[in-house]
Every structure is written in structure tokens, then in C-alpha cells.
Amino acid sequence: MRNLTLELNSLETTEYVARKMAEHLFQGSIMLFWGDMGSGKTTFIKSLCSGLGVLPDKVTSPTYTLVNIYKCNWYIFHVDLFRLTAPEQLYDMDRADLIADQGVTMVEWPQMLQNYLTDEPVLNLRFKNVSDHHRRLILETESSEFDILFNTMEQQNLSCG
Ligand SMILES: Nc1ncnc2c1ncn2[C@@H]1O[C@H](COP(=O)(O)OP(=O)(O)OP(=O)(O)O)[C@@H](O)[C@H]1O
Ligand SMILES: [Mg+2]
């Protein structure tokens, strides 16, 4: 397990970190976004998508549709499972409806997705509210496929030490 804590002490820092991270995503990346309401998941995803070539205005939380699909060089699946209360509520969704094997998948409120994941590379992003403009982001993965991303983020000097 590899992990790293980043201090996002302004919206500008959040945008910078997300755009930097986007440079090191790859086809098949699955990112799971954990954290309370308002902790910054969608805000971070907007900047990630922007880094991947999607206009930020196109990126909205798909709370009612469950999945938004954006097209850039790759497909980006933006999933939000906030409304789900049980995994069975996904019964009519195939894996291919939720996970972009040829692109990047970003999932807010991913608790109910576990059945759809096996051993593919997953990056967990855990957001915590520190104060009005300060979020703490903990990155976690068990996959060495994110090594370059981790190495780059470590060099940004945003760790809490
Ligand atoms: N450093 C920061 N990084 C990210 N967002 C910040 C920061 N400081 C303040 N904010 C604000 O926090 C709010 C985060 O809202 P956002 O919709 O991204 O949260 P969320 O985690 O997706 O919530 P939900 O679970 O309801 O979907 C935004 O209004 C954003 O402007
Ligand atoms: Mg959101």
C-alpha cells in the first residue's frame, strides 16, 4: 500500500494538483473519490477533466443519471453513486456502463461499486475538510501502475510532512 497526504489550501492549489495528476493518468485508470458532501470531489474532478482536455463547464455531477461520459483523447466516465442505498440498485448496469476500460473512470461515493471491481488499478482519493478553503487529500493505492503519478505528486512539496 502506498499513500501520500497533500494539503490543498486553496482552490488554486486544488486545480494545480488535479491538472498535474491528470498528466499521469493512463487508459484503464480507476479513481475512487471518498469524502463528505462538499469536501471537494467534484471540484477536483473538474480540474482533472480540464487537464485531460474537457471544458470544465461540461463537467457536472451526474447524481441523477449516475454516469456522465466526456470524450477527449479517451473516454472519461464520471460516476456519482450518492443516491444509491444498496448495491442491488445497480442491477441493470453492466460493468461497461460504469467502467471505461479504454479510458478513465472517476467515481464519487463509490461504496456500492465494490462488486464491479476485481484487480484493476485503483487509486483512492480521500478528501477531508480542514477549513473553508483548505482540503486535505490522501492518495492511496495498492497498484504500482500509479508509481509515476505518486513520484510526481511527492515532488510537488504539498505534503504535510
Ligand atoms: N481547497 C479547496 N479545494 C476544493 N474545493 C474547495 C476548496 N476550498 C473551497 N472549496 C469549495 O468546496 C466546495 C466543494 O464542493 P464539491 O461539489 O466539489 O464537493 P463534493 O465533494 O463533490 O460534494 P458532494 O458529495 O455533495 O458531491 C466547492 O464549493 C468549492 O469551491
Ligand atoms: Mg460531488
Domain CATH number, residue 6 = 3.40.50.300
Whose alpha carbon is nearest atom 25 of ligand 1?
A: 37
Regions of the chain where pLDDT drops below 50: 161
Residue 161 lies in a domain: no
Give the atom of ligand 1 at the shortest distance from the alpha carbon of 82: 25
Q: What is the pLDDT of residue 119?
A: 81
Residue 73 lies in a domain: yes
* Helices vs. strands in the chain: H and E counts, helices first: 4, 7
Residue 160 lies in a domain: no
Q: What is the pLDDT of residue 160?
A: 57
Residue 91 lies in a domain: yes
Residue 159 lies in a domain: no
pTM flag (> 0.75): yes
**Into how many domains does the chain fold?**
1
Residue 47's domain comprises 2-154
Q: Which amino acid is at 118?
A: T
For the chain, what is the radius of gyration of the CA atoms?
15
Ligand nearest to C-alpha 16: 1
Q: What is the pLDDT of residue 161?
A: 43
Residue 138 lies in a domain: yes
Q: What is the pLDDT of residue 159?
A: 66
Q: What is the pLDDT of residue 116?
A: 87
Q: What is the pLDDT of residue 37?
A: 97
Contact residues for 88 (Cβ-Cβ < 8 A; gap 6+):
none
Residue 71 lies in a domain: yes
Ligand nearest to C-alpha 134: 1
Check residue 148 and give left, alpha or beta (phi > 0: left; psi -120 to 50: alpha). alpha
